[in-house]
Amino acid sequence: MSNLLSRITINPKQCGGRPCIRGMRIRVSDVLDLFAAGLNAEQILEEMPDLEADDLKAALLYA
Q: Are 7 and 21 in contact (CB under 8 A)?
A: yes
Ordered by where they begin, the domains of the chain are 2-62 (1.10.10.10)
Q: Look at residue 2 in the predicted model and tell me its pLDDT.
A: 77
Q: Look at residue 1 in the predicted model and tell me its pLDDT.
A: 72
Cα Rg of the chain, angstroms: 11
For residues 37-47, give the mean pLDDT. 98
Q: Are 54 and 4 in contact (CB under 8 A)?
A: yes
Name the pLDDT band for 62 (thresholds 50, 70, 90): very high
Closest CA to 62 of 37, 16, 12, 26: 26
Q: Look at residue 13 in the predicted model and tell me its pLDDT.
A: 96
Prediction pTM value: 0.92
What are 3-36's pLDDT values in tens digits?
Answer: 999 999 999 999 999 999 999 999 999 999 999 9
